[in-house]
Structures are given as C-alpha cells and as structure tokens.
Structure 1
Amino acid sequence: MAEFDINAIASTLNAAALDPDRWDHAIEAIVKATSSFGAIIFPVRGALPFVPATKSMGKAFEVYVRDGWVHRDERIIRGTNRIFRKAVLTDKDIMPEQEIRRHPYYQDFLGRTNLKGWVAVRVGVDDQVWSLTFHRTTQQDEFSAAELRNFEELSRQLASTAQIASALAFARGQAALSTFEISGKAALLLNRGGEVILANAAADRLFDEHVNISKKRLFCSDRQATDRFENGLKRLLWSADQAGVPPIALPRPGKSAVAAYLMRSFQLADTPLSTYHAIAVLVDPDARLTPDIGTLRAMLDLTPAEARLAVALQSGNDVSEASVQLHISPETARKHLRSIFAKTGTRRQADLVALISNLLPDV
C-alpha cells in the first residue's frame, strides 16, 4: 500500500492528544490505515518498558522486556540521535545490510518474534520528541519508498500534536503543584527519566545545603539516601501499575530528616506524550503548616493584624515572641489574641493552633 490518508491519521492522533482516553483507539486505527502489523510510541529519551502499543505487539514486547532487549535495542542505541536530524528512520538508516544479517538483535529477537519491516516517525520538536514506530512481519512487504515519503509528511504534521499534549500536561502539572502549595506542602514534578521539571514555592523554601536539586535531580548530602530515592523512583517508573513506594528519609544534620513520598502521576501521564510521570512530596517534620492570611480572614473573620498574629502563633511562637516578630507591643499582641479567642471560641493558644491546622486541606 503506497498511499495512505495522512490528514486522517494526523487528525486521529491530535484528537488523542486532547483526549487521552482515545489513545488506544488512535494507535489501533493508524496501524490499520498504514497496513502495519503493530505500532508503539517510544519517548526518544528516557524510554520505559511500559509504553503505548497495539495489542498485536504484546507478545513481541513481552520478549523485548523479559529478555533484556529493552537495554540492547540497536534501534534506540543508534537511532536516538539520528531521529533528531531525520524525521523518518528505517533499519537501513542505522545499520548496514550486511551487519543486519548477522546482528543478534535482528536475527535472534526479531527472528523469533516474526518481525522485519520497521519505520520510526519523529513526533515533536526540540527536546520534546517521541518516536512513533510501525512494524510489519516477515510475511508482509517492507515499507516502500512511497510510504516512507508519506511518513515524512506525517512527521511534519505531528509536530503540533506533541506541542498540544505537552502544553496540556504543563497546565495540569502547574495545577497539581498549586494544589500542594495551598496546603503548604513541598512538591516536585518529575519526568520519565527521574529529572525534576517543576518545583513549587514550598519546595524552594525547604531546600538547603543538605536537600536540594542538583543537575535536575533531587540531591541529599547523604549519598545512601540519594541512592535510595533513585532506586525507589526507578521501581515506581518501571512499573506498569504501581502507584507509590514507601517513604524515603532524607537526613539533614542538626534537623529532622525530610520524608520523601514518591507517587506515580497517572493523571499527568495518561498520554504517552506527557512530560510528567511522577510526583515527589517532601514533608519537613520541623515545619508547622499554616493557612495563608487570606484563608484565616475569610474563615475566622479576623482582621489583617489578627491573622498575622495567628500565623505567628501557629509557627510555634508565644505571644511575646510574636510581638517582636510583628513589630508590635506585647500589649497590642495580647489585645489581638483576646479578640481572636472571642471570634474563634477558643481559650488557649494550643486550641487555636489546632483549629488553624484543621483549615489546611488534606492533599
């Protein structure tokens, strides 16, 4: 089949980029439209064994992961850099025919799975690049020159598909971080390679010389803790359905250890073109979380001065310490506190702190 409807295929994938529930249908539809046996969508960098694929590729993909070909895939090893320069790749673009005839990847793995024809189509631009791979069996004709030209046009049209999916994922990621920020919890968004892509303001406030971000990765001055975090992240990301891993302690000399909770971001990663695949929530046991002043004013009918005092008290200060912090006299601070007690129905600072804590959302 030398010609296929490029516009129809591009429209199908664009619809899936907008509605991730359509990805399974979309990938099956484009396999039929291109007379392929199956298709898989790989991230060009940071590939994982669990990626969208047609059901027809199930058996081959099981062998691919089980027998370790995922780490010895010559198409990835030799083709990764090439696909940034060339929109469409075939096996002949990455390896001479003579080498293909004797290479274990082609003769052992592909020979056993009855696969032969292969083409990788670049989806995306710049660093946001995925590879949409089409596969044929030994019983089918290999992709023709005319079909390869069609794939080149498809790649040009699909550049916008990746941009749509990335923009939607970015918006979702920002919303997720804002949700954690409202509750005063530090949170990081990580990509499929474990790199930190976004961090909220609460995380920035938590970072110090012992726990921070270095070279796009979460760093702890305790090397073993960093290794435990990386291993936990790998277990999480290389699992098809694992939602989280046990919390990981990140020691800080002279302070309590930060607890790092790793969670799989299914909602953010429900499209194969998503940038984000995990969330790390960092909990500082030494920090006292407090709703913002606007929340205290709205919920407890406090004046701005009363709300500021309530925040200071929630942080662990007594009235005298709070008055110094707020640059007001102790008498004024006690006057504000009496008003706060009257408005909240509390009688002790401990009761007030407990009441304020209950205003924090449970995220």
Structure 2
Amino acid sequence: MMSGEIVTDHDVLTPEQIRSDPMYNEVLYPFGFQWFAGVGFWAESAAWALTLQRTGREGSFEARDKRLLARLAPRLTETATLATAVGRVALTSMTNVLNQVQQPALVLNRRGMVLSTNAAADAGFDDDIRISNRRLMVRDKSALAKLDQLVDLIRSTPDSHALPAAPIPVRRTAKPPVVIRVLPIDGAARNVFLGARAMLTLSNLLPRPGPDPGLIAEAFDLTPAESRLAALLASGMSIDGVAERLRISRETVRNHLRSVFSKTGIHRQSELISLVSQLI
C-alpha cells in the first residue's frame, strides 16, 4: 500500500472469495469481525498500514468512510516518522555513550538484523567477527549456533518481554576470545516503527589499552622506573622483554621488581599483573 491509499475488502476480494477465505472463516468471524479497511502511511522510508476491523452489524467500509480515513494518513505518517527519528536519536545516544569508553556495541531489530553499530565495533570487526548482509557473523561454529538461537528468540519473543539470553563466548583464530552480552532496549529507542529489539556488547573485541605508568606510580607510590616496569609486565611482557625495552640489565629489572613487591605488599608477578590490571 502507498501512503494515503485506503484499501477495503471490496477492493481486493470478491464476495465469493470473502465467503471462502480462511482469514475470514478462521480468524475474523470467530471474534465477531467481518470487514476491514487498511490505511497506508510511511515511517521514514518504510511503508506501513493501519488496519481497522468492523463487525457484521457495523457494516462494510463505504466510499465516505474511505474519504475520512484518507484524511488520517498524513497524520499517521507524521507521527510514525517523528517516533522513528526520536527513537533513532535515543538509540544513537546509547551506542555513542558506550563508544566513549571504547565498548563495541551493535543493535539488532526484531528480525535479528543489525540496525546500527558504533565506531568501536566497526574498528574491531575482522574475519572472525563481522557484519555480512546486515547479519552478525562469527567464524566460531559453536558461537554461531548460539547467535542463531538468539535470533530465533528475538523473533519469537514479544517486544515487551525480556530476552533470557546468556553471554556468548566467541573464539578467534589469533586473538583473545570475545564475549557477546545481550542488553535490553528501553525508552524512546524501543518503538514499533524503528524495530530495535536488543543491544549486543562485544567485550574484548578491541585490544585493551596498556596500563598508564603515571597512574600506577600515583596509585602505589612507585618511582617512574618502577611504574614503567609494572606497566610492561602487566601488558604481558617477560622479564627479558622488559630489560630489552628499558635497556637495562636483567638484574636491574629484578631489583625494581622486588621494590615494587615491597611497596604493593604482593609476592608474585601474577599478583602484580592482577593488581595493575584493576587500574585499566
């Protein structure tokens, strides 16, 4: 249907077809309805139709009714387009907030198709995790099966119901695994015309930033040399790698490390990595 177009039973079916059509006999008649009219309108570039039902006693929609309904179409288009625009702004605000903290996120509509992504997600997509034909695709077969289950759940669950979806770990070929979590869409972003149904966050999609030596020094009262050492070890570098990077001897590295242990109250390199990682 085009915007402003009014369609009734008589426009698409003959009386004989109406009498034999399963839609009337199995759906409308049992609930007391007999006649319908559809009003075409737009929500941005998407075509919609508002259908109205009448009982047999009320009678079918006639030419006068169609003229009155045609006056309703522009108002429906204005309302639907405004609701879509407001929802899109609300949705963009949600994903942009996550983008500010480098949290990749994307939004799925009620058909499970990707509606939008933020810049952090776009920067992290690769051959292991990508968008193809508006679908989120992953190379990990186990994770892909769980994503398919999530899409089935989105399609079959009413918009007003929460999605009981567990986090989905995604293994990657040469990078750390990603964890996909499902968040609800609320407020203005959740409207029938926009169709946003769920927000997915992708933890660990992007490389984590290394710890800030200045922050480490301030937090644990370390010298600049000690804080640089702690930052490099926390980023996964070995003792030999630290020595080479800082151009100091292995023994000097160990002396700095003992001093760091003393000041932080820990005794193992693994404990240091865990402690510093809390500052990232």
Between the aligned partners of 2:47 and 2:232, the Cα distance in structure 1 is 48
Q: 1:123 to 1:330 in 2, by over 3 A?
A: farther
Q: 1:358 to 1:104 in 2, by over 3 A?
A: same
Aligned match of 1:194 in 82, 106, 112? Answer: 112
Q: Secondary structure, in 3 states, of the residue corresponding to 1:213?
A: strand
Q: Is it true that 1:248 corresponds to 2:171 in the alignment?
A: no
Q: CA deviation at 1:260?
A: 2.1
Counterpart residue number, 1:161: 79
Aligned match of 1:171 in 84, 89, 93? Answer: 89
Q: 1:234 to 1:93 in 2, by over 3 A?
A: farther
Aligned match of 1:216 in 126, 130, 134? Answer: 134
Counterpart residue number, 1:226: 144
Aligned match of 1:122 in 16, 30, 40? Answer: 40
User: How many residues are paired up?
Assistant: 258
Q: Secondary structure, in 3 states, of the residue corresponding to 1:189?
A: strand
In structure 2, list runs of 5 or more residues that go unmatched: 220-227
Aligned Cα root-mean-square deviation (Å):
4.0
Between the aligned partners of 2:231 and 2:71, the Cα distance in structure 1 is 59
Contact 1:268–1:276 (Cα < 8 Å) also in 2? no
Deviation string, structure 1 residues 281-334 (Cα, Å, up to 9, x no partner): 1223x85544999xx7xx98xxxxxxx99987765457997999xxx9758xx9
Aligned match of 1:266 in 170, 180, 186? Answer: 186
Counterpart residue number, 2:20: 102
Between the aligned partners of 1:309 and 1:151, the Cα distance in structure 2 is 74
Q: 1:228 to 1:351 in 2, by over 3 A?
A: closer
Q: Secondary structure, in 3 states, of the residue corresponding to 1:169?
A: helix
Q: Which amino acid aligns with 1:203?
A: A
Between the aligned partners of 1:121 and 1:322, the Cα distance in structure 2 is 71
Q: Which amino acid aligns with 1:228?
A: K
Between the aligned partners of 2:125 and 2:27, the Cα distance in structure 1 is 47
Q: Which amino acid aligns with 2:58?
A: Q
Between the aligned partners of 1:107 and 1:354, the Cα distance in structure 2 is 68
Q: CA deviation at 1:263?
A: 3.1
Q: CA deviation at 1:238?
A: 2.5
Q: Which amino acid aligns with 1:282?
A: L
Between the aligned partners of 1:204 and 1:178, the Cα distance in structure 2 is 12
Contact 1:191–1:278 (Cα < 8 Å) also in 2? yes
Between the aligned partners of 2:196 and 2:243, the Cα distance in structure 1 is 44
Between the aligned partners of 2:240 and 2:88, the Cα distance in structure 1 is 45
What TM-score results when the alignment is normalised by the length of structure 2?
Answer: 0.72
Counterpart residue number, 1:88: 6
Q: CA deviation at 1:268?
A: 4.9
Counterpart residue number, 2:69: 151
Counterpart residue number, 2:224: none
Q: 1:224 to 1:291 in 2, by over 3 A?
A: closer
Counterpart residue number, 1:79: none
Q: 1:237 to 1:119 in 2, by over 3 A?
A: same
Deviation string, structure 1 residues 50-83 (Cα, Å, up to 9, x no partner): xxxxxxxxxxxxxxxxxxxxxxxxxxxxxxxxx2
Q: Which amino acid aligns with 2:6?
A: V
Deviation string, structure 1 residues 240-277 (Cα, Å, up to 9, x no partner): 31234112333333444432223331335543233422
Aligned match of 2:198 in 275, 278, 288? Answer: 278
Between the aligned partners of 1:188 and 1:117, the Cα distance in structure 2 is 42
Between the aligned partners of 1:185 and 1:315, the Cα distance in structure 2 is 19
Q: Secondary structure, in 3 states, of the residue corresponding to 1:122?
A: strand
Between the aligned partners of 1:214 and 1:116, the Cα distance in structure 2 is 44
In structure 1, list runs of 5 or more residues that go unmatched: 1-82, 301-307
Between the aligned partners of 1:314 and 1:170, the Cα distance in structure 2 is 40
Between the aligned partners of 1:221 and 1:264, the Cα distance in structure 2 is 25
What TM-score results when the alignment is normalised by the length of structure 1?
Answer: 0.57
Identity among equivalent pairs (%): 25
Between the aligned partners of 2:117 and 2:239, the Cα distance in structure 1 is 34
Q: CA deviation at 1:182?
A: 3.0
Q: 1:179 to 1:92 in 2, by over 3 A?
A: same
Q: 1:184 to 1:256 in 2, by over 3 A?
A: same
Q: 1:268 to 1:193 in 2, by over 3 A?
A: farther
Counterpart residue number, 1:134: 52
Aligned match of 1:203 in 121, 124, 128? Answer: 121
Q: CA deviation at 1:189?
A: 1.0
Q: Which amino acid aligns with 1:139?
A: R
Contact 1:188–1:203 (Cα < 8 Å) also in 2? yes
Q: CA deviation at 1:180?
A: 2.0
Q: Secondary structure, in 3 states, of the residue corresponding to 1:277?
A: strand
